[in-house]
Amino acid sequence: MSQRLFGTDGIRGVANEPPLTPDLAYRVGRELVATLLGQQNHDGRIRLVIGRDTRRSGPLLEAAMVAGLLSAGADCYTVGVLPTPGIALMTRALDAQGGIVLSASHNPFEDNGIKLFSSEGTKFPDAWEAQIEARVAAADTAPRARSADIGRLIHYDRAEKYYVDFLTRCFPLDLAGLTVAIDCAHGATFRVAPSVFRRLGARVVAISVQPDGTNINAGCGALHPEGLQKRLRAVRADVGFAFDGDGDRLISVDHIGEIRDGDYALAIAGRHMAQQRRLKGNLVVTTVMANLGLDESLKAAGIRVVKTQVGDRYVHEEMLKSGANLGGEQSGHLLFPDYMPTGDGILSALALLSVVREAGEPLASLATCMRKFPQVLVNVPVRSKPPIESIDGLGARVGVFESEMNGIGRVLIRYSGTEALARVMIEGADAARIQAMADELAGVIRSQIGA
């Protein structure tokens, strides 16, 4: 195999094209069972939970994956369309050895992915992913169950109710009198998100809740909150929440229509939790993409900030290491491990609303605790991903720009972990100047490795 199958967030690709074919899904299913049997002192049957988002290709990959799991002797609980964190939750609730999510999160509908969870509902161990990958590359030696040893398929139709009940128990808020606008990205939250907010008493105005298999993330949801902004203003909602296709991200909109991303959420939640003495280690974990304004806001409140490389898995690993109970990314992946082991957009929205209720202030007022530095992000489609430092002339230009900013700003260039893109991010005081800098650096990359 020339390229690794597993990236930073499972296996991703265009559905029904190599490598993400039904054949691969079948083999990964079989080798997942073989790996779990080898890793655990397990004298009974392997039990796995599988769910998906609303993509057209979901049932195709699910059918193949389930066939692989059953053929290797695992019992398989299918929960249908459910947000990624809901599937992680059901993995624990059903006492399963692992969970499987078929989703490509915020990517366009043509893409899909296979993401694995441990029995704890956390990220599948890297060593186990490597073992599955090695097994897939070799001859198929996974168990081939016979007779009554063939796995059982259980359509578990109570998962959605269990998930909604869980979320409303985590934050038993009284939202009576509040109008909440939500954008479900025609994705996995399209039923559960309206249910949760209505259960808590809010008046709900929902958009992008008509999935047709091809419209997931299309000009809507957490990546495109402009539609929610417009709807919120039209109905004069008190607050708005946009989720991505698989429901693990949150972008908020306050009552005056201002977009509040993950940096704002971390600043608001971090400062409030610290004030209430609920912030463990007086620490917030985020990534190198976080706005400088977040550092400024948290440090002003005496809160430590630890930064990791981009990816919620790295934030999660650092949080486990440091014992932190708040972390996340600017993109809206937020982690509240006191409640849930993985990022959850709906739970994050409820956490923010709990601060609004406890503080007695609207989101717009709470958001004044942070001053955003202008930030520019330019994505460059690339045909390959050589080390950034090997791109001729790029380092020199970055050095010149960093000297020019003289400490009031920064340059960050990295590859996407899930797409064939180089990302050029610059922060600084002058928006027009940093845009020009980013465009110049993107041009250097494009001229050498552009797709």
> What pLDDT digit, counting tens, does each position of 224-281 carry?
999 999 999 999 999 999 999 999 999 999 999 999 999 999 999 999 999 999 999 9
Indicate whether 408 pLDDT > 90. Answer: no
Residue 289 pLDDT level (bands cut at 50, 70, 90):
confident
Decide if 228 contacts 234 (C-beta within 8 A): no
Decide if 222 contacts 250 (C-beta within 8 A): yes
* CA nearest neighbour of 125 among 6, 261, 292: 6
Measured between alpha carbons, how far is residue 378 from residues 71, 237, 389, 412, 443 in Å?
46, 32, 18, 11, 10
> What pLDDT digit, counting tens, does each position of 95-109 carry?
999 999 999 999 999
User: What pLDDT is attached to residue 7?
Assistant: 86
Q: Do domains 6-157 and 260-350+363-369 have the same CATH topology?
A: yes
Q: Which residues are bridge partners to 230 per DSSP?
A: none
User: What pLDDT is attached to residue 422?
Assistant: 97
Match domain 260-350+363-369 to its CATH number in 3.40.50.1820, 3.40.120.10, 3.40.50.720, 3.40.50.2300: 3.40.120.10
Q: Which two tokens stand for residue 187?
A: 């994705």
User: What pLDDT is attached to residue 259?
Assistant: 97
Helix (H) or strand (E) holding 125: none
> What pLDDT digit, counting tens, does each position of 368-397 carry?
999 999 989 999 999 999 999 999 999 999
Cα–Cα distance between 346 and 348 in angstroms, integer? 5
DSSP per residue over 6-55, as a string?
EEBTEEEEETTBTTBSHHHHHHHHHHHHHHHHHHS---S--EEEEEE-S-
Best mean pLDDT range from 3-12, 112-121, 403-412: 112-121
Indicate whether 136 pLDDT > 70. Answer: yes
For the chain, what is the mean pLDDT?
Answer: 95
Amino acid (1-letter code) at residue 363: L
Alpha helices, H only, 214-261 = 226-235
Strand runs labelled E in 237-333 = 239-243, 250-253, 259-260, 283-287, 304-308, 327-328
Residue 317's CB is within 10 A of a number of other CB atoms, namely 16
Cα–Cα distance between 221 and 228 in angstroms, integer? 8
Indicate whether 1 pLDDT > 50. Answer: no
The residue extents of the domains of the chain are 6-157, 161-258, 260-350+363-369, 375-449
> What pLDDT digit, counting tens, does each position of 167-212 carry?
999 999 999 999 999 999 999 999 999 999 999 999 999 999 999 9
Q: Which two tokens stand for residue 82?
A: 């459910």
Decide if 345 contacts 243 (C-beta within 8 A): yes
Residue 84: what are its φ and ψ, rounded to 5°? -50, -50
Match domain 375-449 to its CATH number in 3.40.50.360, 3.30.310.50, 3.40.50.720, 3.40.50.150: 3.30.310.50
* CA nearest neighbour of 340 among 194, 166, 173, 187: 166
Dihedral, CA atoms, 339, 343, 349, 352, nearest 10 degrees? 60
User: What pLDDT is attached to residue 231?
Assistant: 98
Residue 313 pLDDT level (bands cut at 50, 70, 90):
confident
Cα–Cα distance between 50 and 78 in angstroms, integer? 5
Residue 322: what are its φ and ψ, rounded to 5°? -95, -10
Indicate whether 2 pLDDT > 60. Answer: no
User: What pLDDT is attached to residue 429?
Assistant: 86
CATH of domain 161-258: 3.40.120.10
Q: Which CATH superfamily is domain 6-157 in?
A: Alpha-D-Glucose-1,6-Bisphosphate, subunit A, domain 3 (3.40.120.10)
User: Which of 119-123, 279-283, 326-330, 416-420 is least confident?
Assistant: 416-420
Mean pLDDT over residues 314-322, rounded? 95
Q: Which two tokens stand for residue 398?
A: 């970055």
* CA nearest neighbour of 192 among 179, 201, 182, 177: 182
Tokens 């199958």 belong to residue: 5
Task: Region of 242 please: left (phi>0), alpha (psi -120 to 50) or beta.
Answer: beta
Across 368-404, b (16+ Cβ under 10 Å) vs e yields: ebbebbbbbebebebeeeeeeeebeebeeebeebeee
Cα–Cα distance between 226 and 292 in angstroms, integer? 24
User: What pLDDT is attached to residue 44?
Assistant: 73
Catalytic residues: 105
Residue 4 pLDDT level (bands cut at 50, 70, 90):
confident
> What pLDDT digit, counting tens, does each position of 333-352 carry?
999 999 999 999 999 999 99
Helix (H) or strand (E) holding 75: strand 75-81
